[in-house]
Amino acid sequence: MESVIKNHELPDLSNDEISRFSRHLLLPEVGIDGQKRLKAAKVLIVGTGGLGAPLVLYLAAAGVGTLGIVDFDSVEESNLQRQVIHGIRDVGRPKVASARDRIKNINPGCNVITYNTALTSANALEILKDYDVVADGTDNYQTRYLVNDACVLLGIPNVYGSIFQFEGQASVFYAKEGPCYRCLYPEPPPPGLVPSCAEGGVVGVLPGIVGSLQANEVIKLIVGSGTGSQNPSTSLIGRLLLFDAWALKFRELQLDKDDNCPVCGEHPSIHELIDYEQFCGLKRTSDETPVEIIEPKELKARLDAGDSLQIIDIREPHERAIIKFPQAKTIPLGQMVRRIDEFNPKVDSVFICKIGQRSIFAIRALQEAGYTGRLLNLRDGLNGWAKEVDRSFPIY
């Protein structure tokens, strides 16, 4: 396919750059012109976590001239299992600052633009508009739909990747040439149905593999087929690559453009960015019963006072093997409603999970089943308890 770098006056390469990128220059598929396109290119990476780390590292090493990085998180110790762009010294620092330093260490000539902010409907178009390619390294549905829609509206290719436990996906969504993310996933899954990596886990090497595949697709979009190539590149446009790290198997699905897609179809109904939290069902509706919160220190005080409480641990067995919460009764989330008779509605029930998210769905299930007792959600789950009450508990 043709390069996305059009109407650019391609920059010259210095002797130092010719030396640095000589292994690229020896490839007829890249060559001098391809490397000049890489130098001229502007790529935005959304997220500098598991996927963003290899993306940033390899694109900087490849000689991409301008890298924009968007992330509002700070580096945590649990990130280091897979987010190889960060190190121990970076814990507590903004991820974009850590990533910028690493980029400059790899390629001092790279222009790095950092956005230490969340990508939202209010700022996405302004941030994305000056870039040639966007690479999506996010881990939530609302941002994936936001990135997709912004790329479609701006006519920019979106290099997509996602990971969970041992499975990964990669594709290129480019509405000018093929389907977009909405063509594949017209609607997001119900909230809570798909756990995040923080809740479900991920094998550390998986984001390295999928993020590297994304970096490869970005490079191909920039370089194009290569003037001297006898083997023109084939993009992942219209193809979804599936990878199972545990079974070590790749599969591929053909993707078709949806003519009725609301953002890239023949008669689109979406002409501007929308409220993606509402679209993904993350905003509480007015008729929804609120979930009552109990702070970790408040729970500690009530336990010390000898209050009668029903503490319900909804975590999976392999999580409870990491740490058990004393006095807690184990009821998995899937068994909650059918075991409703085990609850005493005259006694307050406190629900605990890892970070206080899955327990919300347990409470909602009991509310919808007509349970009348008081239901409390431990704020930030066992990780909140470890930080605020008992530091002998591990944070995982």
The whole-angstrom separation of Cα 160 and Cα 171 is: 5
The whole-angstrom separation of Cα 192 and Cα 357 is: 8
Instruction: Please tell me whether residue 44 adopts helix, strand or coil conformation.
Output: strand
The whole-angstrom separation of Cα 112 and Cα 106 is: 12
What H or E segment, with its residue span, contains residue 252?
strand 249-254
The amino acid that residue 320 corresponds to is R
The whole-angstrom separation of Cα 59 and Cα 71 is: 17
CA dist 133 → 140, 166, 219, 264, 370 (Å): 20, 27, 10, 17, 50
Structure tokens at 4: 């996305």
Residues 142, 279: contact at Cβ < 8 Å?
yes
Sign (positive or negative) of CA dihedral 88, 134, 1, 182 = positive
Catalytic sites, residue numbers: 197, 353
Q: Which residues pair with 44 in a beta bridge?
A: 68, 134
CA end-to-end span of the chain: 44
**Angle CA(243)–CA(245)–CA(247) in degrees, nearest 5?**
95
CB contact burial 129-165 (16+ within 10 A = b; e otherwise): eebbbbbbbbbbbbbbbbbbbbbbbbebbbbbbbbbe
